[in-house]
Amino acid sequence: MSAGSKYEYLWADGVKYKKPVRLSAPEYVDKLFDWIEDQIDDPSVFPGQFGEPFPPNFMDVVRTIFKRLFRVYAHIYHSHFKQVCSLGEEAHLNTCFKHFIFFVRHFDLVEEKELAPLSELIDQFVAGKMNGIR
């Protein structure tokens, strides 16, 4: 999966895919959502009982989830934004992404270098220059 010509995202989950492999975008997204579901369903990562402690690697797992979710947004904006616009859905995509970015930045979940493929768009959101975006 890619985000323009400068960014290619390989898939590795450390279990089934120990070495990073090239996947199509639909395959990458499918594997990602399955992997996220596995993480959330694993009580050793996301405790299911109130008061149970979170594991020491909890924030690392959460940061990996958000980094990979960002990659999906980057792919959509770089490869499918014209189609999104032709459907008249760009405001919905922009609103979802803006909320995602503000959450990510507030909790420091994705390193700035990872956000580079959409840095110009992010800068516009932060500066409040996207009219009609809540």
Q: What is the DSSP string of 77-124?
A: HHHHHHHHHHTT-HHHHHHHHHHHHHHHHHTT-S-GGGGGGGHHHHHH
Burial 70-90 (b: 16+ CB within 10 A, else e): bbbbbbbbbeeeeebeeeeeb
Mean of per-residue pLDDT scores for the chain: 94
Residue 41, both tokens: 């369903």
Angle in degrees, CA 131, 6, 117, rounded to 5 = 30
Give helix 58-86 / helix 90-106 axis angle, nearest 10°. 160
**What are the counts of helices (DSSP H) followed by strands (DSSP E) for the chain?**
4, 0
- When pLDDT is averaged across residues 75-104 and rounded to a whole number, the result is 96
- pTM score, two decimals? 0.91
* The pLDDT of residue 38: 96
pLDDT band with cut points at 50, 70 and 90 for residue 127: confident
